[in-house]
């Protein structure tokens, strides 16, 4: 669905992402792990169009994407969440999702039409809230949702735009065990007809849910493959996992 080939990003003399190649496939959760500063978030920003690569290519369904901006990536069907909650706090959960749905398929001819009259975006918003378990909180302002609910709302906002690829940057950050388990179960359901890239520091969660794991260090990939092969890789253990994993 989405592929990077020799993707590189330099900031002056710093190489934040160094010739990274990976493939995201439908039906798989592809986890991306590494220490802070390994280049994971920079890589997601490259895949989502927030940053332009210094070298290398990003392809969607086999077609190269050259200088694609985030709004084009979103309309192609590439959704993403961020490390920190990125919602409109004064809007209700439903309004946040409806706005995301409208952004995917804007109706420029309906500039003066109330958003509530857009049936398709309203239906998409409700479906997304139901999928993540927030339908009963549809009228609650995002500002009063719990941390876990806000993270779930971000995923719902992605789903409202009907993406085929999800790029999730630390969706479990700050969650307790019960909340994390709900999100992991959600990801298992979502992967059926989507490709998912999961950046996460919770190794128990990663090994519980990932089909493929890629490990980064100093901007480069040091290992990639099935979870058990990555767990046993001596380079990964030395650089990141340690003997306790």
With a cut of 70, say whether residue 111 has pLDDT above it: no
Report the candidate in 154, 148, 144 with the shortest Cα–Cα distance to residue 180: 148
Intra-chain end-to-end CA distance of the chain, in Å: 31
132 three-state secondary structure: helix
- Predicted local confidence at residue 70, as pLDDT: 83
pTM higher than the cut 0.85:
yes
* 2-11, strands of its sheet edge to edge: 14-24, 2-11, 55-60, 63-65
Q: How far apart are CA 178 and CA 184, in angstroms?
A: 10
Q: Which fold has domain 1-77+165-245?
A: Rossmann fold (3.40.50)
With a cut of 60, say whether residue 199 has pLDDT above it: yes
**For 219, phi and psi rounded to 5 degrees?**
85, -10
- What's the token pair of residue 142? 């995002």
Write down the domain spans for the chain: 1-77+165-245, 88-162
As a whole number, the mean pLDDT across the chain is 89
Q: What is the largest CA-CA distance in the chain?
A: 61
The predicted model gives 73-100 an average pLDDT of 89
For residues 107 and 212, which has the higher predicted lDDT (pLDDT)?
Answer: 212
- Predicted local confidence at residue 166, as pLDDT: 95
With a cut of 60, say whether residue 113 has pLDDT above it: yes
Work out the percent of the chain whose per-residue pLDDT is above 90: 63
Place of tokens 């420029």: 108
DSSP assignment, residue 165?
Answer: E
């Amino acid at each position: 669905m989405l592929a990077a080939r020799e993707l590189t990003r330099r900031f002056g003399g710093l190489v934040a992402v160094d010739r990274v190649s990976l493939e995201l496939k439908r039906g798989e959760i592809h986890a991306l792990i590494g220490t802070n500063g390994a280049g994971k978030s920079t890589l997601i920003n490259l895949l989502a169009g927030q940053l332009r690569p210094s070298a290398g290519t990003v392809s969607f369904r086999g077609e190269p994407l050259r200088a694609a901006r985030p709004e084009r990536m979103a309309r192609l069907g590439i959704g993403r969440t961020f490390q920190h909650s990125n919602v409109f706090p004064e809007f209700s959960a439903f309004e946040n999702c409806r706005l995301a749905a409208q952004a995917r398929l804007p109706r420029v001819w309906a500039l003066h039409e109330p958003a509530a009259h857009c049936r398709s975006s309203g239906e998409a918003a409700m479906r997304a809230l139901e999928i993540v378990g927030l339908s009963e909180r549809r009228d609650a302002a995002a500002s009063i949702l719990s941390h876990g609910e806000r993270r779930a709302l971000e995923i719902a906002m992605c789903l409202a735009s009907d993406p085929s690829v999800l790029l999730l940057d630390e969706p479990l950050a700050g969650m307790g065990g019960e909340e994390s388990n709900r999100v992991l179960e959600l990801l298992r359901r979502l992967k059926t007809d989507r490709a998912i890239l999961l950046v996460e520091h919770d190794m128990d969660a990663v090994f519980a849910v990932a089909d493929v794991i890629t490990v980064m260090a100093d901007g480069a990939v040091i290992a990639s493959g099935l979870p058990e092969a990555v767990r046993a890789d001596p380079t990964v253990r030395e650089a990141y996992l340690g003997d306790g994993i």
